[in-house]
Amino acid sequence: MNFPNTLSLIRILLAPVFLYLFLSDSPVQVFLSFIVYTVAALTDWYDGWYARKYGFKTRWGQFIDPLADKILTTSAFIGFYLLKQKDPLLFGKTEFIPIVILIGIIIFRDIVLTIARSVQELRGREFTTSMISKTKTFVQMTFIFLIIGLVSLAALADGTAFAESIISYLHSDINYYILLLITLLTAGSGFAYIFESSTVSPREKQAN
């Protein structure tokens, strides 16, 4: 196994570590969860850069790298759902579509379609990332880092006015609407992938 693929495997192994720390009752462990998640996310950037620079592009890497990314983001969304079970006001009071459904849609699309796309790439088909997918990824990752970071800071500053101001924001409805937007973007990028797959040329179909 080459170095980039090893980093992808490490990213997968760090996902449950992050989740355990994030849901801990210890403020220090909650803060450590942010560090673990950040390190894991940085391995994604570094293994991609390393693979491109040194030509370590393999079929196995094409499969495990995006899968590791989705496992990591999935662990964050699962953490958000479980944290909401402890704090029902998390993401605000507005919930005309239950958060469990929104998170379920995100996880289902990301895992299932990532595996399907990776299998297609293993078979030799090349894909270009659509603008809606790029937008979804940017908004999704920004939201994840924002929530994890704020939860970590609130845990460390527990009992202070600073912590109360963070908690007040975490309890605001804006986070629900951001999550709803992410769900819509995620579903939209999923439909874009399905449309893209349905436009395979006869030559590509024969080659596959």
Enter the pTM of the model. Answer: 0.86
What class does CATH assign to 3-203?
A: mainly alpha
pLDDT tens, position by position, 92-111: 988 889 999 999 999 998 88
C-alpha distances in angstroms, 117 versus 65, 124, 182? 12, 11, 20
Residue 184 makes CB contacts below 8 A (sequence gap 6+) with none
* For residue 113, pLDDT beyond 60: yes
Q: Cα–Cα distance between 60 and 12 in angstroms, integer?
A: 15
* For residue 32, pLDDT beyond 60: yes
Residue pair 49/56 in contact (Cβ under 8 Å)? The answer is no
Q: How sure is the predictor about 203, in pLDDT bands with cuts at 50, 70 and 90?
A: very low
Q: Which residue has the higher pLDDT, 9 or 50?
A: 9
* For residue 200, pLDDT beyond 60: no
* For residue 118, pLDDT beyond 90: no
